[in-house]
Amino acid sequence: MTKEFPLVSIITINYNESQVTLEMLQSLKGLTYPNVEVIVVDNASPNDNPDTIKEQFPEVCLIKSKENLGFAGGNNLGVKQSNGAFLLFINNDTIVPERFIEPLVQTLQEDETIGMVSPKIKFHWNPELIQYAGYTPMNHWTIRNNSIGYHQKDDGRFDTEGETESIHGAAMMVPRTVVDKVGMMTEIYFLYYEEHDWAEMIKRAGYKIFYQPASYILHKESVSTGKFSPLKTYYISRNRILFARRNFKPLQLGISLLFQCFVSIPKNSLQFLIKNEFPHFKAFWKAISWNLTHRTEIG
């Protein structure tokens, strides 16, 4: 079984959402892939009792962190306890079909130059709509990329597998050999952009990033952080610039920072003020200030 079905370590993070995690774990019970271990890392949930996870799913390895380590830190903690030849990082706010794993494992087995693979991701609230079918390149002006197929109907147009620019953190499989060579996710991000940073690390090591539509998941999206919260505004704004500082070449970085200073920062500030979204305005400027006060700290 080990050769034909190598062990897959499924790693997920719980933060104040045990009921959501339980729903995801219940969907994992239907997997047809016969060789998995499931690791749940509770990121020091202050308003939740993660013990219910172990009570209802005793086969799960529950790791209770003493502090909130963020997305990268929590997943890295799970990696340290894992044994699989392949590591599957999946958000707790997802539901998976029974043959979700097989195409991902097959993709990595058939081509060892692939360092990461994500499935097609569809919205849980409307499975006919796509959230992710690959990513466009990161724009060197705006430091943003676009999810291919976003809000498009799943009508077969996005069913071609192939190399893509970046991975999706809601569901990504990575061979352990790649993690051993490249290292784990950088923890300085805490939330958002860390999967894109990891994809860049893996590409620089000579691997490809792959999209495999023969597999899919349903994503409830932003359950833990909220779809539009000051916390999300802070980390996305902070980490967008941090990503550029860590990954862009000097000329590209200069272009990006000029655009941020003269276009993006004034535009976003004005929009928050016009809409009376003062908590978001404060979070946005806190994010800018972090990059100014941490000019040598980029992980």
Mean pLDDT within 103-121: 98
Question: Looking at the structure, do residues 29 and 165 belong to the same domain, yes or no?
Answer: yes
**Among 15, 21, 17, 18, which Cα is nearest to 67's?**
15
How far apart are alpha carbons 293 and 59 in whole angstroms? 45
Question: Looking at the structure, do residues 170 and 248 belong to the same domain, yes or no?
Answer: no
> Among 219, 246, 269, where does a domain finish?
219
Question: Looking at the structure, do residues 173 and 244 belong to the same domain, yes or no?
Answer: no
Indicate whether 299 belongs to any domain.
no
How far apart are alpha carbons 70 and 194 in whole angstroms? 10
Question: Looking at the structure, do residues 235 and 215 belong to the same domain, yes or no?
Answer: no
* Other CB atoms within 10 Å distance of the CB of residue 137: 10
Asked whether residue 3 carries a pLDDT value surpassing 80, the answer given is: no
Distance from chain centroid for Cα 263:
28
* Other CB atoms within 10 Å distance of the CB of residue 40: 26
Range of the domain at 14: 8-219
As for how many domains the chain has, the answer is 2
The string of pLDDT tens digits covering residues 143-153 is 999 999 999 99
**What pLDDT is stored for residue 2 in this prediction?**
52
Mean pLDDT within 28-36: 97
Question: Looking at the structure, do residues 66 and 135 belong to the same domain, yes or no?
Answer: yes
The string of pLDDT tens digits covering residues 56-95 is 999 999 999 999 999 999 999 999 999 999 999 999 999 9
Question: Looking at the structure, do residues 162 and 67 belong to the same domain, yes or no?
Answer: yes
Question: Looking at the structure, do residues 278 and 168 belong to the same domain, yes or no?
Answer: no
Which DSSP string corresponds to the chain? -TTTS--EEEEEEESS-HHHHHHHHHHHTT---S-EEEEEEE---TT--THHHHHH-TTSEEEE-SS--HHHHHHHHHHHT---SEEEEE-TTEE--TTSSHHHHHHHHH-TTEEEEEEEEEESS-TTBEEES-BPPPPTTT----BTTTT-B-SSTT---EE-S---TTEEEEEHHHHHHH-S--TTSSSSSHHHHHHHHHHHTT-EEEEEEEEEEEE--STTT-SS-HHHHHHHHHHHHHHHHHHS-HHHHHHHHHHIIIIIHHHHHHHHHHTT-HHHHHHHHHHHHHHHH-TT---
> Among 154, 187, 219, where does a domain finish?
219
List, in order, residues 6 or more apart from 170 with CB less than 8 Å away: 90, 91, 94, 118, 121, 131, 132, 217, 219
> Among 219, 246, 271, where does a domain finish?
219
**What pLDDT is stored for residue 197 in this prediction?**
97
